C-alpha cells in the first residue's frame, strides 16, 4: 500500500453504514504495542547466564570481594611508603625497636619523630619480627598467591584442554592410549610428587637471573612445572567427557559431512559448547593452587625470601603465635577470603552456566 489513511481525511460515510468509523479509535502507542508482544526479547546463552549470575547474591558478593582484593593489592604498594623487604627506617636511621609491633602502634623512634613534627605512615597491620611493615607484606603476599593461583590454573587449562580435546575427538586407539597415560598420572600421589620435584628442582635449577621468576625462586618454578606435569589430568578427563557427549550431536555430523577439518570442528563446534564447564573448573583450580602453594611454604618449599606469599607469612607467623596472634590472622583471613570467594563464584557460575543444571 502506498498511501496512509488519515482519520480526518476519510470521506464521511452514510450514518447507517456499518463501516467502522475510524475517528472513534485511538492509535496504539509504542508502549501498548509492546504489551501485546508475546515473544520475550531473544537472549544469548551468555546474557542469560549473566542475568542468573547477577541474581545470585553469594556470587555477586564474591565478585565484589575479589575486586576489592585486586584493588587492594594494586593500590597498597603504591600508596604505602614502605616496601615488602625494607626494614623500617626513621629519618634515614634504621629503627631497631620497630619489630613485632601491634597494629597502629609506633616505635619509640617514630614517636619521637612524630613529636618533633615529622610524619610517619601508620603500620595498619603492625610490623613483623624483622621490623618490616606487615600491611605491605600481606598485600604483596596476596599478590604472589593470586599470581601463583592464576598462572597455575592457566597452565592446567591449556594443557588439559588440548590433551582432552584431542583424546575425546579422535577416540578409538588414540583415546585409549592417551587415557591410560592420564589414568597413571592421575593415580600418582600429587602432593608427594610436588614435594619431591620441588626438592630436586631446587638443587638442579639454580636460578640466578632477574625478573619476576627469579625473585619468586626455584620453588615456584618447580611448582609450575609440577602443575604442568601432573595437575592437568583432571581437566583433560573433564574435557574429554564433555567432547564425547557433544560429538554425538547432529551438527557435528553435519559439519563433518560438509567437509570441515577436525581442527575447525573442535574450535567452532565443540569447544564453544563445553567452554562454560571448562571455565568453571579452571576458576575452582585457583584456590586449590593457592592451597598447594601455602602448603609448600609451610614445609619450607615455598617462595624465596624476602618475597612473601600468604602461605609463607602464615607459616612464619606460627613462631610467635601466642603473643602475636594477629600476624597469623591477617594472612589466614586473606587465604580464607580468596578461597571462599573463588569457591562461591565457581558455584554461582556453575548454577548460571552449566547446561546440565539449566532448566
Q: Which residues bind another protein (CB under 8 A)?
A: 183-184, 187-189, 191-193, 195-197, 199-200, 203-204, 287, 291, 294-295, 298-301, 311, 314-315, 317-318, 321-322, 325, 328, 332, 335-337, 339-340, 343-344
Of 193 and 255, CB closest to another protein: 193
Minimal CA–CA distance to 239: which of 173, 152, 172, 158?
158
Of 195 and 271, CB closest to another protein: 195
Of 279 and 332, CB closest to another protein: 332
Quote the least distance from Cβ 117 to another protein, whole Å.
40
300: cell is: 619450607
Quote the least distance from Cβ 353 to another protein, whole Å.
19
Quote the least distance from Cβ 279 to another protein, whole Å.
20
What's the CA gap between 215 and 78, in Å, rounded?
A: 19
What's the CA gap between 105 and 32, in Å, rounded?
A: 66
Of 158 and 340, CB closest to another protein: 340
What is the per-residue burial (b if ≥16 Cβ within 10 Å, else e) of 1-36? Answer: eeeeeeeeeeeeeeeeeeeeeeeeeeeeeeeeeeee
Quote the least distance from Cβ 231 to another protein, whole Å.
14
Minimal CA–CA distance to 343: which of 65, 83, 93?
65
- At 127, is the secondary structure helix, strand, or coil? strand
Quote the least distance from Cβ 252 to another protein, whole Å.
24
Of 8 and 203, CB closest to another protein: 203
Minimal CA–CA distance to 275: which of 249, 250, 238, 248?
238
Amino acid at each position: 500500500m502506498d498511501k496512509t489513511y488519515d482519520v480526518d481525511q476519510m470521506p464521511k460515510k452514510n450514518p447507517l453504514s456499518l463501516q467502522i468509523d475510524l475517528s472513534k479509535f485511538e492509535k496504539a502507542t509504542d508502549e501498548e504495542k509492546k504489551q501485546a508482544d508475546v515473544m520475550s526479547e531473544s537472549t544469548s546463552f551468555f546474557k542469560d547466564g549473566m542475568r542468573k549470575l547477577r541474581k545470585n547474591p553469594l556470587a555477586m558478593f564474591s565478585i565484589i570481594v575479589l575486586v576489592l582484593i585486586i584493588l587492594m593489592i594494586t593500590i597498597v604498594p603504591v600508596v604505602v611508603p614502605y616496601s615488602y623487604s625494607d626494614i623500617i627506617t626513621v629519618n634515614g636511621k634504621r629503627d631497631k625497636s620497630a619489630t613485632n609491633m601491634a597494629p597502629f602502634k609506633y616505635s619509640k623512634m617514630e614517636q619521637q619523630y612524630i613529636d618533633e613534627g615529622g610524619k610517619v605512615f601508620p603500620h595498619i597491620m603492625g610490623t613483623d619480627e624483622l621490623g618490616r611493615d606487615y600491611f605491605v607484606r600481606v598485600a604483596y603476599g596476596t599478590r604472589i598467591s593470586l599470581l601463583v593461583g592464576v598462572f597455575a590454573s592457566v597452565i592446567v587449562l591449556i594443557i588439559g584442554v588440548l590433551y582432552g580435546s584431542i583424546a575425546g575427538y579422535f577416540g578409538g586407539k588414540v583415546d585409549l592410549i592417551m587415557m591410560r597415560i592420564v589414568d597413571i598420572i592421575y593415580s600418582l600421589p600429587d602432593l608427594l610428587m610436588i614435594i619431591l620435584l620441588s626438592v630436586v628442582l631446587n638443587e638442579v635449577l639454580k636460578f640466578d637471573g632477574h625478573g619476576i621468576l627469579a625473585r619468586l625462586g626455584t620453588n615456584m618454578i618447580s611448582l609450575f612445572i609440577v602443575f604442568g606435569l601432573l595437575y592437568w589430568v583432571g581437566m583433560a578427563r573433564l574435557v574429554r567427557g564433555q567432547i564425547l557427549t557433544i560429538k554425538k550431536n547432529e551438527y557435528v555430523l553435519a559439519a563433518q559431512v560438509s567437509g570441515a577439518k577436525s581442527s575447525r570442528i573442535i574450535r567452532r563446534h565443540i569447544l564453544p559448547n563445553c567452554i562454560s564447564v571448562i571455565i568453571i573448573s579452571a576458576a575452582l583450580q585457583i584456590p586449590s593452587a593457592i592451597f598447594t602453594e601455602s602448603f609448600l611454604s609451610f614445609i619450607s618449599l615455598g617462595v624465596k625470601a624476602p618475597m612473601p606469599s600468604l602461605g609463607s607469612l602464615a607459616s612464619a607467623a606460627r613462631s610467635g603465635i601466642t603473643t602475636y596472634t594477629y600476624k597469623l590472622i591477617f594472612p589466614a583471613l586473606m587465604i580464607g577470603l580468596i578461597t571462599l570467594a573463588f569457591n562461591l563464584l565457581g558455584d554461582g557460575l556453575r548454577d548460571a552456566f552449566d547446561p546440565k543444571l539449566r532448566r
